[in-house]
Amino acid sequence: MCGRFSLGKDVDEIIDELGFDDTAGMEDYLPNFNVAPTVVTPVLVHEKRQRVLSMRWGLIPSWARDSKAGARLINARCETLTGKPSFRSLVGRRHCVAIAEGYYEWKRYGRSKTPYFIRPSSRRLLFMAGLWDLWDGPDQERPVQSFTIITRPPLDEFAAIHDRMPAVLSPERAARWLDTASFSRDDCTRFLQAEDTMALEAYPVSTLVNSVRNNSPACTEPVGPVRN
């Protein structure tokens, strides 16, 4: 699955890599090596054109009575996406792509757990398919924008770490996912489960990352061998 990720690059690096020429949508951005659910973080959307919106991680459905309801909707299974009340209306309409340098996964060893960091071997940005929604809170002037990250069965190389992984998208496939106007709802699950061309590497990291209070480059530093 995906319950934590890192985005520690500077705003200029990110904007440059995305190919944008301004920082719209990232005015409040701060590098964060330990992005956790409920945190506001930049994601890509396509509304007439591609752009960045900063959203809360953890989808709050538009009909939710309170914002707590969505606190646990941090992931959506690609196999069941089109059937679930919280997600089905967003498929083909509100696609987004979470921007990260890599994601964390805790591998279980009996009673203990070791965090791993998984990132593109190229060290370019990692894109993860998602869905987003708008929620009109009772006292909110503006609707709350929130998103969920789609998960899938793992690629063979990562099956030993965990039995789920985020739906990772190469830049080309990310653009396809975002362009809902030309995206077929029926292809959704197949598209999200396709082999992606983005080569990834995985390695163990310090348990520093366990606590969301720890936000430093040490979170993503290897403490064991890097595996491709």
Return residues touching DNA (CB under 7 A).
Answer: 1, 3-4, 36-39, 58, 62-63, 65, 68, 71-77, 80-81, 84-87, 89, 106, 108, 113, 115, 151, 162-164, 207, 210-213
The nearest distance, CB 221 to DNA, in angstroms, is 17
Judged by beta carbon, residue 51 or residue 84, the one nearer DNA is 84
Cβ atoms of 58 and 35 within 8 Å: the answer is no
**CA atoms of 73 and 45, how far apart (whole Å):** 19
Closer of 211 and 216 to DNA (Cβ) = 211
The rounded distance, in Å, linking the Cα atoms of 10 and 22 is 13
**CA–CA distance, 66 with 109 (Å, rounded to integer):** 37
Q: State the minimum distance, in angstroms, from the CB of residue 21 to DNA.
A: 32
From 78, 96, 101, 105, the catalytic residue? 105
Is 2 an annotated catalytic residue?
yes
State the nearest-atom distance from the C-beta of 217 to DNA, in Å: 18
Which residue number, 116 or 183, has a Cβ lying nearer to DNA?
A: 116
Residues labelled catalytic: 2, 105
